[in-house]
Structures are given as structure tokens and as C-alpha cells.
Amino acid sequence: MKARPASSWRSIVSRRVRGKSADYFCLFQKVKPAPFGRGNAPVFLNVYDLTAVNDYFYWSGIGVFHSGVEVYGVEYAFGAHEYPSSGVFEVEPRQCPGFKFRKSILVGTTSLDPIQVRDFIERQSASYHGDTYHLIVKNCNHFCEDTCFKLTGKTIPRWVNRLARIVCTANCI
């Protein structure tokens, strides 16, 4: 089967405007891909399920999630260990071992180039030692919130760490 040029594609759905036939339109938003490079590299939040129970609670805005920040094809995350050294690690995007990948969310873009991002992550990791990890007050989602905000000026969706905030509010008062 011969492929059609992109300019000849038409939507399978037509519409009528004021009784007259209108041009075809698409149900999906048409977005021109931006060339990513210095000044506009995308920063993604990759969210994983920590438990199968998330399948039931996710739709109500509550769940137990792990997250990582993906930029320039590398995912950075924070985890616990018993040593007073960095708990920040890197993995293949959307492939964090031990977790079930749920979704990737575009948080924004960064003006840093790959070397600057790597330097930033190394400096950032000094504040996230493995022996300081705490499920409620300093977890992987806190790391991602902090990192995404510093890279893009935008925050991660509130539902990602909502359960930790609820537990902290109940216990920290």
C-alpha cells in the first residue's frame, strides 16, 4: 500500500456550519512538532504506580506514585538507601525498575543544554541523600517537584503527591 503525502490527509469526520458544508476538521489537536534544542528542551514527569491499588483510586485523584524527571532522553529520580550520599539516580525513560509505568506528562521546557542539565542534577542531588528519604516529607515526588520547578518554572500536577500531603496534614498538625 502506497503512503499518501501528509498534505493529502483528511479527517474522517466532516461538519456543517450554518447549513453549508465546511472544510474537514480533525478531532485531535494539530500540533506542529517543535525542534527541541538549546532553549526549548522538553521536561517530562514520568509517573509510575507503586501498587496495583492505584488502578482503583487513580480516578479519584489519590494514589501511591513514584516519579522521575525526563530531560534529554535521561530520567532522573530519587530513592532511599542507608548511606549519607546522593539518592538521585538515572534510568532509561519510562523504564524505572520495580514500578509500573503509568503516564508521561510534559511539564514545560528548559533553556539548559544537556551538559548544563547534568551539572544542575549533580548540584541538585546534594540535597537529596538516600538516608534522608522519607515517604511523607521527602520522597521522589518532592524531588521531581523541586527539579521541575527549577528547570521550567512550573510545578508537577498535585495528584502525583496528594496522598503524602494528606497524610502529612493529618499527622503534622
Instruction: Give residue-wise pLDDT tens across range 44-72.
Output: 999 999 888 877 776 667 788 999 999 99
Instruction: Calculate the CA dihedral of residues 110, 114, 120, 126 and round it to 10 degrees.
Output: 130
Strands 16-17 and 20-21: antiparallel
22 belongs to a structural domain: no
pLDDT of 25 higher than 70: no
Q: What is the pLDDT of residues 116-156, one digit of tens each?
A: 999 999 999 999 999 999 988 899 999 999 999 999 999 99
HSE at residue 90, side-chain half, CA atoms within 13 A, is 11
List the alpha helices (DSSP H) in the chain. Answer: 54-57, 114-125, 140-152, 162-172
CATH assignment of the domain containing 111: 3.90.1720.30
Query: What pLDDT score was predicted for residue 37?
Result: 54
For the annotated catalytic residues, the residue numbers are: 66, 140
* Least reliable range by pLDDT among 17-21, 76-80, 84-88: 17-21
Task: Tell me, yes or no, whether 18 lies in a domain.
Answer: no
- Is 36 a domain residue? no
Range with lowest mean pLDDT among 20-24, 87-91, 108-112, 137-141: 20-24
Q: For residue 17, tell me if it sits in a domain.
A: no
Residue 30 — very low, low, confident or very high, per pLDDT cuts 50/70/90?
very low
Residues of the chain with pLDDT > 90, as a percent, come to 58
Question: Which comes out higher in pLDDT, residue 169 or 9?
Answer: 169
In a domain, 128, yes or no: yes
Q: Which residue has the cell 498534505?
A: 7
Separation of alpha carbons 29 and 44, rounded Å: 20
In a domain, 118, yes or no: yes
- The reported pTM is 0.73
| Share of residues in the chain with pLDDT > 70 (%) | 69
- Domain range for 163: 41-172
* The pLDDT value given to residue 136: 83
- Give me the number of domains the chain comprises: 1
pLDDT: which is higher, 136 or 22: 136
32 in a structural domain: no
Q: Say if 59 falls within a structural domain.
A: yes
From the list 143, 63, 154, 158, the residue with the least C-alpha distance to 102 is: 63
Cell of 147: 527539579
Take residue 61 and report the three cell numbers written for it. 485523584
Q: Taking the CA atoms of 154, 159, 165 and 170 in sequence, report the sign of the dihedral they define.
A: positive
Give the Å distances, CA to CA, from 134 to 66, 86, 106, 170.
13, 14, 26, 16
